[in-house]
Amino acid sequence: MTLPSMQRNLLGLTLLIVIGLTVFLLSRKLTLEARKRDSLLLDMIANISGSLDRLDGGLNDIVSQTGTARNRLRHLIVLHRENLLVCALLGEKQRHRRMSGEEKTTKVRRVVQSSITGSKDSYGT
């Protein structure tokens, strides 16, 4: 009778050792998989962080280029206004020249007409 109870104890001990080893090996395997998963997650986070850094750098470049373009546009607006002013002044000057030219022509015509009519009067009488 002691033999079967001893066999039972040995069988129980064997089962306990097998279960313990299985749990230990599975936990070790799970730990390795968890480490791999964690490593993969860290790599993904590092890639995302690098991409965000590149995006941030790109956005900083865009902001810088936008500021430069804005300054150039302001300069072009100032130049355009100056050009419009110069065109208006030149147009006004040209109009004054035409007006003074027409006045001179009118004065010359009057002088010529008066000299012609005056000479006819002096010759005619």
- Confidence bin at 72 (pLDDT 50/70/90): very high
SS3 string, the chain, reads CHHHHHHHHHHHHHHHHHHHHHHHHHHHHHHHHHHHHHHHHHHHHHHHHHHHHHHHHHHHHHHHHHHHHHHHHHHHHHHHHHHHHHHHHHHHHHHHHHHHHHHHHHHHHHHHHHHHHHHHHHHHC
Choice between 108 and 54, residue whose per-residue pLDDT is larger: 54
The predicted model gives 3-15 an average pLDDT of 87
Q: Is residue 47 pLDDT above 50, yes or no?
A: yes
The predicted model gives 16-27 an average pLDDT of 93
